[in-house]
């Protein structure tokens, strides 16, 4: 890609919907207070399930973000969360889409699974009442690209639009792909991120059958514990993270508030297993190296990593091994934390949420903590920012996302000093 002129890309808006709160400020405040968004599962009766805890978005009213009540029935919850996060991001950025720029503004938003709740509901309707009673909005309510489609329609953004579906790397891939669209001149601004809402009986049954979820049902707030020796699996979460990205000159011209500059993006594959990571962290190491190369910086330039850190035995240690491979001696002084300890794992929305958190960390010069790290795994011996956030002097930070099928993504941001 060296023959392409590369434009600079900045984050000017952050919109978050998470188990810590509806909105960017309550989510960030929850992280700064070391809170957990994990609690007992209330979406259905989980009595017969091994795992009965989740990171639920509490008190969400879709009417505040969807045009009208009729439209709510035409779209599943993952779309509602996305519309809310996009609204927060647009309000935060102050960016306006009009007839002069709408052809140069795009939307890339992905989801790992899409509308599983409405699939389950409509399948039951089919069984109970027959095919004629299945909603005509069933398909457009569930397909993964409809979150991006609904955002594009709401704001009249007619530029590049797509929807990656790369499991738990989805949100990060979306942000990285949107970054490329602006960097290489195909767009001037993008709304981008991930969204997910699959706290359903079928999803829980599937993940429980894999023995992937924490069963610390009596202590939900301490169930997500990356790198802790007593961790027993990840905790399902839901929500959305959407960013507004802009080409630097345009952002400066309109006097935008700039959170951070995106300087590198990389992708790789483990090519190893459908669900387990390469235990030696090979794919994770390759994606971080590729992202450093794309950013044109050395490994010792990075001061903080917002890690994938899901709280699984294999995944946590594979990422630690990868960090040590890439950063060498610098890994001993590098700060690493997992905000999934507070939010749970938002699957396809995780990379969008955590990209937003990375931008906020650079803006506010504070590192979010890894909560619940009471008894560190002896094989995990990095600086995981345990228990409480840390004020810092941070210039460059990286975030990782890894997904089933061995798909990996990493993104590097730099503090913007004007």
Residues 163 and 66 occupy one common structural domain: yes
Residues 23 and 153 occupy one common structural domain: yes
User: Measured at the alpha carbon of residue 54, what is the angle toward residues 49 and 55, in degrees to the nearest 5?
Assistant: 170
202 belongs to a structural domain: yes
User: Measured at the alpha carbon of residue 174, what is the angle toward residues 339 and 171, in degrees to the nearest 5?
Assistant: 25
- End of a domain among 227, 253, 279? 253
2 belongs to a structural domain: no
Rg (CA), the chain: 20
User: Would you write out the chain's pLDDT as a tens digit for each of its 418 residues?
Assistant: 445 679 999 999 999 999 999 999 999 999 999 999 999 999 999 999 999 999 999 999 999 998 788 888 899 999 999 999 999 999 999 999 999 999 999 999 999 999 999 999 999 999 999 999 999 999 999 999 999 999 999 999 999 999 999 999 999 999 999 999 999 999 999 999 999 999 999 999 999 999 999 999 999 999 999 999 999 999 999 999 999 999 999 999 999 999 999 999 999 999 999 999 999 999 999 999 999 999 999 999 999 999 999 999 999 999 999 999 999 999 999 999 999 999 999 999 999 999 999 999 999 999 999 999 999 999 999 999 999 999 999 999 999 999 999 999 999 999 998 7
Residues 201 and 339 occupy one common structural domain: no
Distance CA 113, CA 180 (A): 24
3-state secondary structure the chain: CCCCCCCCEEEEEEEEEECCEECHHHHHHHHHCCCCCCEECCCCCCCCCCCCEEECCCCCCHHHCCCCHHHHCCCCHHHHHHHHHHHHHHHHHCCCCCCCCHHHEEEEEECCCCCHHHHHHHHHHHHHHCHHHCCCCHHHHHCCCHHHHHHHHHHCCCCCEECCCCHHHHHHHHHHHHHHHHHCCCCCEEEEEEEECCCCHHHHHHHHHCCCECCCCCCHHHCCCCCECCCCCECEECEEEEEEEEEHHHHHHCCCCCCEEEEEEEEEECCCCCCCCCCCCHHHHHHHHHHHHHHCCCHHHCCEEECCCCCCHHHHHHHHHHHHHHHHHHHHCCEEECCHHHHCECHHHHHHHHHHHHHHHHHHCEECCECCCCCECCCCCCECCECCCEECCCCEEEEEEEEHHHEEEEEEEEECCC
Residues 248 and 306 occupy one common structural domain: no
Residues 176 and 269 occupy one common structural domain: no
- End of a domain among 229, 253, 277? 253
CA neighbor of 392 nearest in space, from 373, 413, 369: 369
Q: Is 308 a catalytic residue?
A: yes
Residues 99 and 231 occupy one common structural domain: yes
Stated pTM of the model: 0.97
- End of a domain among 253, 275, 310? 253
157 belongs to a structural domain: yes
Strand partners, 108: 162, 192
Distance CA 174, CA 171 (A): 5
The domain in which residue 107 lies consists of 10-253
Question: In terms of C-beta density within 10 A (0-12 exposed, 13-18 middle, 19 or more buried), how is residue 293 classed?
Answer: exposed
56 belongs to a structural domain: yes
**What tokens does 25 get?**
């400020």
Residues 76 and 40 occupy one common structural domain: yes
Say which of 168, 173, 330, 364 is annotated catalytic: 168
Pairing of strands 105-110, 189-196: parallel
For residue 36, the domain's CATH number is 3.40.47.10
3-state secondary structure 70-110: HHHCCCCHHHHHHHHHHHHHHHHHCCCCCCCCHHHEEEEEE
Distance CA 327, CA 242 (A): 29
4 belongs to a structural domain: no
258 belongs to a structural domain: no
CA neighbor of 168 nearest in space, from 412, 399, 414, 418: 399
Residues 247 and 269 occupy one common structural domain: no
Residues 290 and 355 occupy one common structural domain: yes
| Residue 60: CB atoms within 10 Å | 17
Say which of 82, 173, 208, 345 is annotated catalytic: 345
Can you give the pLDDT at residue 1?
Answer: 43
CB 50 within 8 A of CB 41: no
> Tens of pLDDT along 15-25?
999 999 999 99
Residue the block writes with tokens 């997500």: 224
Q: Is 345 a catalytic residue?
A: yes
User: Measured at the alpha carbon of residue 35, what is the angle toward residues 26 and 346, in degrees to the nearest 5?
Assistant: 75
Residues 373 and 243 occupy one common structural domain: no
Sign of CA dihedral 82, 85, 87, 92: negative
Q: Is 122 a catalytic residue?
A: no
Residues 171 and 277 occupy one common structural domain: no
Give 214's Cβ-side CA count (13 Å radius): 35
CB 200 within 8 A of CB 43: yes
**How far is CA 99 from its chain centroid?**
31
> Tens of pLDDT along 150-163?
999 999 999 999 99
Can you give the pLDDT at residue 171?
Answer: 98
Residues 233 and 112 occupy one common structural domain: yes
Q: How large is the angle between the packed helices 282-295 and 313-327, nearest 10 degrees?
A: 40
Looking at the structure of the chain, the number of domains it has is 2
Question: Could you give the maximum distance between any two Cα atoms of the chain, in Å?
Answer: 64
């Amino acid at each position: 890609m060296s023959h392409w002129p590369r434009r600079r890309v900045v984050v000017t808006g952050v919109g978050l919907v998470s188990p810590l709160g509806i909105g960017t400020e309550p989510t960030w405040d929850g992280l700064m207070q070391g809170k957990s968004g994990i609690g007992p599962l209330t979406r259905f009766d989980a009595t017969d399930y091994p795992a009965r805890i989740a990171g639920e978005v509490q008190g969400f009213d879709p009417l505040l973000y969807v045009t009208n009540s009729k439209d709510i029935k035409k779209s599943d919850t993952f779309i509602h969360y996305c519309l809310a996060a996009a609204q927060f991001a647009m309000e935060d950025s102050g960016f306006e889409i009009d007839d002069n720029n709408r052809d140069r503004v795009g939307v890339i938003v992905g989801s790992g699974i899409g509308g599983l709740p409405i699939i389950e509901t409509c399948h039951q309707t089919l069984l109970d009442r027959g095919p004629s009673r299945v909603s005509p909005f069933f398909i457009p309510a569930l397909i993964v690209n409809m979150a991006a489609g609904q955002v594009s329609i709401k704001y009249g953004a007619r530029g590049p639009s797509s929807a990656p579906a790369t499991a738990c790397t989805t949100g990060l891939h979306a942000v990285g792909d949107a970054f490329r669209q602006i960097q290489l001149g195909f767009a001037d601004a993008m709304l981008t991120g991930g969204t997910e809402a699959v706290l359903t009986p079928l999803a829980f049954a599937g993940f429980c059958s894999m023995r992937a979820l924490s069963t610390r049902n009596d202590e939900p707030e301490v169930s997500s514990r990356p790198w802790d020796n007593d961790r027993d699996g990840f905790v399902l979460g839901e929500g959305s993270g959407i960013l507004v990205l802009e080409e630097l000159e345009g952002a400066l011209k309109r006097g935008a508030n700039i959170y951070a500059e995106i300087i590198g993006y990389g992708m790789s594959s483990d090519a190893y297993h459908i669900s387990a990571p390469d235990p030696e962290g090979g794919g994770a190491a390759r994606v971080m190296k590729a992202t450093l190369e794309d950013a044109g910086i050395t490994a010792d330039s990075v001061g903080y990593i917002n890690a994938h850190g899901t709280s699984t035995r294999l995944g946590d240690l594979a990422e630690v091994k990868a960090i040590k491979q890439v950063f060498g001696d610098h890994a001993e002084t590098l700060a690493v934390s997992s905000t999934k300890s507070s939010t749970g794992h938002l699957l396809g929305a995780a990379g969008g949420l955590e990209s937003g958190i990375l931008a906020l960390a650079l803006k506010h010069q504070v590192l979010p903590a890894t909560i619940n790290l009471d008894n560190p795994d002896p094989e995990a011996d990095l600086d995981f920012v345990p228990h409480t956030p840390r004020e810092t002097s941070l210039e460059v930070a990286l975030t990782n996302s890894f997904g089933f099928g061995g798909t990996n993504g990493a993104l590097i941001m730099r503090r913007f000093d004007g």
